[in-house]
Amino acid sequence: MNNDSQLSKNVFTSKNKVLIMVCGMALLQTQYIFTREVGSTFFSTELIAIFSTVIILIGISVSYGIGYRLHPEVFKIWTVVNFVMCVFMPLSIRSIYVYCCNINNSNLAYLIVGILSIFILGGYFAVFLPKFINNGVNFSKLYIFELLGSLIGLILIVVLQKFELVLLSYNLALLVIFYLTISNLNLRIIATGLVSVMMMFYPFANEAILKKYYSAVYGLKYPSLIFSQFSPYYLVDIVSSNLGLSLFLDGVPYYENSVLTGFNYAVSFIPGSLKNPQHESLKKALVVGSGSLSSAAYLKQLNYDVTVCEIDPVVLEAGLKFFQFKNHLKSGDFNTYIGDCRTYLNSLAGESLDLVVMDVPAPFHIQTAMLHTTEFYNLVKSKLKNNGLLSISLCGGSFKKHLSAAIAASASKTFPYFIANDSHVVDLIFIYASKDANILNIPKLKSLLPDLNNPTHYTILNQSEVLNKVKNAKPLTNNNLIPTLFLMRNVL
């Protein structure tokens, strides 16, 4: 046996195999927790996910470059600092953002979080590879154990599901790494105590920070957290404040009792009234996105047979549980489909729907951006009856905003007839589109809903007026969704 093989055997003991494996697990879970916390703090978009991933990868690259040069004492200090940072990461990211908002410099938070993450969160768990390689351990052996650890971390995320349980497994992994790296008994006891205190008081500390977050970012007075849970898609928060009960998805207001009620009225009740189903046979309406279920409630009030399509069951459950005082709905009052609305639409017979209401978030992610494209609107059109209606929000209150104009252009390229409702109540524009010009009867609509005649509430625009405002806009398609995410600056 040559010297390199003997050295590899001596260095790569069972203890070190466990260390590399747990580091792989911790690195993957760091990426998961960091991305979720950054996304729900800085407003989640694919761009934030890319930012988080790049930060982690830069940290790994830095570690590969300096790992084998580190003095043992410096490495021990890094271990302790990284441990503390990782334990407090789920609380510290939002705390930094709140502090920067309070000093009116929210952009500073990106810089602080980025720098700390590059040198601490991302890099540390990868530093063992160059250290062991420098001592003669074969890279392939190291990487196999690191990948095995990453796979274990991924399985735990999928199996445990609840964020608090994933956090517990993550903190236990951090403790194992600390124990295998630091031999000082006093430091081990302190580390164990720190994890214990963190896990015991995390729910209370997290609630306190979320209250400060909604106060600093949205100016809510006396906010109280009624419900908070990481779902597979969002951080779902129900917040009670001076403005009433609000629903936030990844820190973005999706329903607010005193203001955003007007959103549901404009996106569902107004177009629903054009069909006037009280005097006809029961009509079928599809509401894409549940939210507070206010859109579904408006359509039930108008005697529609309502199906709610929601990809996130936690959002649907929250709407039923916490906004029942507003929507007065029970689970049996409407049909539900949990999953992607495109899959649901493809399962329907052609031209079977009377109304499709897009009660969805703005295109913060690729998945929601797809629901604002010509391809999606063509799918909806194929499932609408000849006099059916599609109701969408332009995610802005002015056609001068690129995103609003682009969404309107997508609808205008897909449907032959449409009108716009500029709602001054919520400062948003809505498009009502159809294959039948007769259904888009503005005088009829104003007679059904007298408040539409109030110019301080609504301005109804006919098709030619809309076309004139979006004549230079480029429609959204599945091929240009990344630029769409940059357009979200007009919304946030």
User: Per the structure block, which two tokens stand in for 450?
Assistant: 């007298």
Q: What is the pLDDT of residue 68?
A: 65
Distance in angstroms (rounded) separating the CA atoms of residues 25 and 128: 13
Q: What is the DSSP letter of 456?
A: T
Strand-pair category, 304-310 with 283-288:
parallel
User: Per the structure block, which two tokens stand in for 45?
Assistant: 């978009």
Q: From start to end of 187-251, where are the E strands? A: 224-230, 235-241, 244-249
214 to 41, 427, 488: CA distances (angstroms): 10, 21, 20
Q: What is the pLDDT of residue 275?
A: 76
Structural domains of the chain in order of their starting residue, each with its CATH number: 3-218 (1.20.1250), 256-490 (3.40.50.150)
List of residues 6+ apart from 89 with CB closer than 8 A: 30, 33, 34, 37, 121
Task: Name the one residue in this structure whose structure tokens are 């409702």.
Answer: 421
User: Per the structure block, which two tokens stand in for 278?
Assistant: 């009280």
Strand-pair category, 283-288 with 353-358:
parallel
Helix (H) / strand (E) element for 306: namely strand 304-310
Average pLDDT over residues 373-383: 93
What pTM was computed for the model? 0.83
Q: Across the strands, what pairs with 227? A: 238
Is a pLDDT exceeding 60 seen at residue 443?
Answer: yes
Q: Strand, coil or helix: what is 283?
A: strand
Highest mean pLDDT among 180-194, 446-460, 472-486: 180-194
Is a pLDDT exceeding 60 seen at residue 9?
Answer: no
Q: What is the pLDDT of residue 399?
A: 84
User: Per the structure block, which two tokens stand in for 83?
Assistant: 């441990």
Distance in angstroms (rounded) separating the CA atoms of residues 142 and 161: 29
Distance in angstroms (rounded) separating the CA atoms of residues 489 and 492: 5
Average pLDDT over residues 221-231: 92
230 contacts 163 by C-beta, under 8 angstroms: yes
366 to 17, 45, 46, 252, 486: CA distances (angstroms): 39, 8, 7, 16, 11
- CA R_g for the chain: 27
Per residue in 332-354, pLDDT (tens digit) is 889 999 998 999 999 988 888 99
Is a pLDDT exceeding 90 seen at residue 210?
Answer: yes
Is a pLDDT exceeding 60 seen at residue 75?
Answer: yes
Q: Across the strands, what pairs with 391? A: 357, 432
Task: Name the one residue in this structure whose structure tokens are 């549940």.
Answer: 290
User: Per the structure block, which two tokens stand in for 323?
Assistant: 């906004």
- Pick the closest to residue 359 from 407, 316, 326, 392 (CA basis): 392
Q: What is the pLDDT of residue 5?
A: 45
Helix (H) / strand (E) element for 63: namely helix 46-66
Q: What is the pLDDT of residue 132?
A: 75
Per residue in 82-134, pLDDT (tens digit) is 899 899 989 999 999 999 999 988 889 888 888 877 766 557 887 777 777 76
485 contacts 369 by C-beta, under 8 angstroms: yes
Average pLDDT over residues 255-273: 81
Q: What is the pLDDT of residue 281?
A: 62
Distance in angstroms (rounded) separating the CA atoms of residues 352 and 357: 14
Distance, first Cα to last Cα, the chain? 63
Q: What is the DSSP letter of 471?
A: T
Q: Strand, coil or helix: what is 241?
A: strand
Average pLDDT over residues 240-268: 83
Is a pLDDT exceeding 90 seen at residue 485?
Answer: no
For the chain, the helix, strand and coil percentages under 3-state DSSP, each to the nearest 5 = 60, 15, 25
CB-count exposure of residue 451 (10 Å: 0-12, 13-18, 19+):
exposed
Is a pLDDT exceeding 80 seen at residue 252?
Answer: yes
Q: What is the pLDDT of residue 223?
A: 93
Per residue in 152-164, pLDDT (tens digit) is 999 999 999 899 9
- Pick the closest to residue 491 from 149, 169, 314, 252 (CA basis): 252
User: Per the structure block, which two tokens stand in for 211?
Assistant: 């209250």
User: Per the structure block, which two tokens stand in for 404?
Assistant: 């609003």
Per residue in 268-308, pLDDT (tens digit) is 999 998 876 555 667 899 999 988 899 999 999 888 999 99
Q: What is the pLDDT of residue 492?
A: 40
